[in-house]
Structure 1
Amino acid sequence: MTAPLTRRHLLRALGATGAGLVCAPGFLGRALAASPVSAARRTLVTVFLRGGVDGLSLVPPIEDAAYHRARPSLALRASGPDAALKLSGPFGLHPRLDALMPLWHDGRLAVLHGVGLPEPVRSHFDAQDFVESGTPGRKSTPDGWLNRALDEEAGAALRAVALQPTLPRALFGDAGAVAMGRLEEFRLRGGRRGEEATRGFSALYAGAVDEALRTTGQGAFEAMSLLDEDRLAKLPSHAAVAYPKGPLGQRLRDIARLIHGEVGLEVAATESGGWDTHAAQGSATGAFANRCQELGSALSAFAADLGPRLEQVTVVVLTEFGRTVRENGSRGTDHGVGSAMLVLGGGVKGGKVYGRFDSLEPDHLQDGRDVPAWTDIRAPLAEVLLACRPGVELARVFPGFTPPPSLGLFG
């Protein structure tokens, strides 16, 4: 028998789960007053590549002889058929990311290499947790770095959105955040009690003794209903832009719709899986190449969809760790440390590979096997935040971390 819905159950369903809608009534009540992001700020979009991306295939050091020796079957060529696309210095870009080259040449795409957690963590679960909490080595942190980057006082109901089935760790926290698989599927939900909460929300607050509470709660429910039925499903979609089939393309398309719809979006997060390449990774073709094709095409379509609005949007593509320098016996790579990161959009000083990167000779490697995290992942994220949200309190977002001198990612 189903237990009756109580106010405690409702609040727990709405605020204590790691998925769905995380909010307070006052947060939703501002939905109808949603306004465009301030011109002084940029919308921040994060794309988390889950599984640990092989940065040496994403952005291969094609002029490093040690790279080619360590990867007899996986190394990408510097010239000839299916060669890596030439970037700056010794680096190339995976050939299936060719859709991103116009952004590189226009100076709107920057690459970082040797980025990761300050201490090696080769567990997917722990590494993702540390990256998204923004507190490496501390498992007790209750919230995520993206949530802490938001202003404490509530803003538009859709200021922080995750286009994926569950709310990512980075958006856990006191600031309101919404998770949805697709815009058309948006519903008030909160884990196992989500459907019950939707049915009981109005009745629960209608019976409240406190008139103010009843008014706030009912207004919040009506605001959410209006957003659900009349706004989200009708947000503009640019049919002329061809997004790739698959989850990432659809999710970025929906984020673009939210930006065009001027719903007050400040932060958007999404993800892409399938990057854990222990076997049959491939080089210019194969499993990894397929992932690159989807990523490059989706990001390129997103940029084209936004058009001039891209200047008010910054996109960060990150992962939890890199892969081993040497390929393994299954023609794949195992969990490593440093990887690559992409930053594109407004204000980015692109057309350059940032960060320290030494030759892959064995004496330069972490534990003799991995690309080191020469750049703490919090350093570029801090620069991105300062560019997107001037005045953000970095000590609150990344407690205990002192940012090094600027990498110079933004002009």
Structure 2
Amino acid sequence: MAVTRRGFMKGGALALVGTSAIPSFLTRSVLAEATTAATNHKKLVVLFQRGAADGLNIVVPYREKNYYAMRPTIAIKPNEVLDLDGQFGLHPSLAAFKPLYDQGHLAIVHACGSPDTTRSHFDAQDYMESGTPGLKSTQDGWLNRALQAERMDPKLATAFRAVALGTQVPRTLQGTLPAIAINNVQDFSVGGRAANPNTGVSSAFQQMYAQTADTMLHGTGQETFEAVKMLKSADPAHYQPANGVVYPNTSFGNSLKQIAQLLKANLGVEAAFADIGDWDTHQAQGSTNGRLANRLKEFSETIAAFWKDMGQGAENITLVSMSEFGRTARQNGTGGTDHGHGNVMFVLGGTVRGGKVYGKWPGLENEQLNEGRDLTVTTDFRQVLGEAAYRTLGSQNLDLVFPNAKLTKNGFLNIV
């Protein structure tokens, strides 16, 4: 299997994939393991619900008469919601969230979203991950910048400071600070499935690493070597979730299970990222049952399992969910909803002031809708992420994290 330097750099030297063999050169070229990690440092976990989740059926404004008029077959009835505060209720498939909300660990921000009004999945996701709505020229992601804005002793940083579950580093974590993508912690390695470590991708990578004069590639290789050694020493193949937790047997369930492994292994993880897709419910969305309900059940039960699995360690975690935009207030002719605007964000954590629905509610009367069709955005998503980065990671320079957003401490919702 031929590997070119151009192809390798395009994929990202830290976009590591599973393989059954660890090339022998890895053990010869590692940096010394970091002996001191910020064991008590706060951790930020960011989840992206790709496809535009329907916030109006996720956290239901069940006192709004027009909600039922606009959604005659897919609305969640008042006697079906899990009441939160007399105005909003959770979709019944989010039952796993209700105890977290009642215990004050889970907060909700409604009518939240981007000031940019695009209805393009690609553009909206790009804007949210870059943190610069409406600006396509941004090269890095907001979470990478948030880590750069943190005041931290460089000696405490490890190769696992920023980690994503998947085959490549997501837009959110791209930037000058090294980030790692892991598809499977049990087979965490470099290259393909070459049985002989002296052939194929492994030898090609070794040769490039040894010969290159490119400092970016050289530095990335060093981080890669260190990461492999550190994770293997944590013995991930024998991980058992705590407290009898059983994660859903899904890609998302496996992602959060592996994030829990990484956080517990004391590898110096500060920021972790995972996706869950399939929220684009144009057809046959369903109400209390169906496509959206199934997704919500997996989403909430996975997060609840993660929270329980982390045990006392959950006190140092802030978890934030986001989706590129909401969906239309009115259902369409195929029992679904189309691309909208305002949406819902969840914030979970040990220091979160939960048990509350935050944000200014704009209403669902026809004259209150954005462009006559969507929930209006009243809280910029960057306010939520900015507060999480500031309070959790200690990212002091919010102008660096979210350029032109003009975020200040005084503008925080005081969720975290």
TM range (shorter): 0.7 to 0.9
1: distance between equivalents of 2:167 and 2:271? Answer: 17
Structure 1 pair 19/139, CA: closer, same or farther in 2 (3 Å)? farther
Determine the structure 2 residue equivalent to 1:243.
Answer: 247
Determine the structure 1 residue equivalent to 2:184.
Answer: 182
Match of 1:122 among 119, 137, 140: 119
Shift of 1:233: 2.8
SS in 1 for 2:353: coil
Determine the structure 1 residue equivalent to 2:355.
Answer: 351
Are residues 1:317 and 2:324 paired? no
Determine the structure 1 residue equivalent to 2:21.
Answer: none
Match of 2:310 among 306, 312, 316: 306
Determine the structure 2 residue equivalent to 1:47.
Answer: 47
| Contact 2:16/2:188 (<8 A) preserved | no
User: How much is the aligned-residue C-alpha RMSD, in angstroms?
Assistant: 3.0
Map 1:111-150 → 2, pairs under 5 A: 111-150=108-147
SS in 2 for 1:150: helix
Could you list the per-position Cα deviations for residues 288-336 of structure 1 after superposition, in whole angstroms to 9, with x for gaps in the alignment? 0000000010011000000111010110011000000000110100000
2: distance between equivalents of 1:165 and 1:363? Answer: 45
Structure 1 pair 380/222, CA: closer, same or farther in 2 (3 Å)? closer
Map 1:5-404 → 2, pairs under 5 A: 9=5, 13-14=8-9, 17=12, 20-21=15-16, 32-33=33-34, 35-37=36-38, 39=40, 41-79=41-79, 83-151=80-148, 155-189=157-191, 198-206=202-210, 222-227=225-230, 229-231=232-234, 233-234=236-237, 236-238=239-241, 240-403=244-407
2: distance between equivalents of 1:221 and 1:117? Answer: 35
1: distance between equivalents of 2:32 and 2:413? Answer: 37
Structure 1 pair 15/29, CA: closer, same or farther in 2 (3 Å)? farther
Structure 1 pair 218/341, CA: closer, same or farther in 2 (3 Å)? closer
Determine the structure 1 residue equivalent to 2:20.
Answer: none
2: distance between equivalents of 1:355 and 1:66? Answer: 20
Could you list the per-position Cα deviations for residues 45-79 of structure 1 after superposition, in whole angstroms to 9, with x for gaps in the alignment? 01100000000011010111111111111111111
SS in 1 for 2:147: coil
Could you list the per-position Cα deviations for residues 360-393 of structure 1 after superposition, in whole angstroms to 9, with x for gaps in the alignment? 0010010000001111110111111111122431
Shift of 1:217: 9.0
Shift of 1:272: 0.4
Letter in 1 for 2:351: G
Q: Larger deviation: 48-57 or 89-98? A: 89-98
Shift of 1:35: 4.2
TM-score, with length taken from structure 2: 0.86
Structure 1 pair 207/332, CA: closer, same or farther in 2 (3 Å)? closer
Structure 1 pair 175/222, CA: closer, same or farther in 2 (3 Å)? closer
| Contact 1:19/1:165 (<8 A) preserved | no
2: distance between equivalents of 1:19 and 1:263? Answer: 16
Could you list the per-position Cα deviations for residues 83-128 of structure 1 after superposition, in whole angstroms to 9, with x for gaps in the alignment? 0100124100010110111111110000000111102110000000
2: distance between equivalents of 1:317 and 1:217? Answer: 29
Shift of 1:159: 1.1
2: distance between equivalents of 1:146 and 1:72? Answer: 40
| Contact 2:188/2:228 (<8 A) preserved | no
Letter in 2 for 1:268: A
Structure 1 pair 164/216, CA: closer, same or farther in 2 (3 Å)? closer
Determine the structure 1 residue equivalent to 2:195.
Answer: none
Structure 1 pair 19/329, CA: closer, same or farther in 2 (3 Å)? farther
Percent sequence identity is 39
Q: Larger deviation: 12-21 or 247-256? A: 12-21
Letter in 2 for 1:294: E
| Contact 2:107/2:415 (<8 A) preserved | yes
Could you list the per-position Cα deviations for residues 341-361 of structure 1 after superposition, in whole angstroms to 9, with x for gaps in the alignment? 000012100000000112200
Shift of 1:184: 1.6
SS in 2 for 1:299: helix
Could you list the per-position Cα deviations for residues 218-241 of structure 1 after superposition, in whole angstroms to 9, with x for gaps in the alignment? 966653442354435347332621
Letter in 2 for 1:44: L
Q: Which runs of 5+ in 2 are unaligned?
A: 18-25, 193-198
TM-score, with length taken from structure 1: 0.87
SS in 1 for 2:287: coil
2: distance between equivalents of 1:166 and 1:205? Answer: 20
2: distance between equivalents of 1:76 and 1:38? Answer: 43
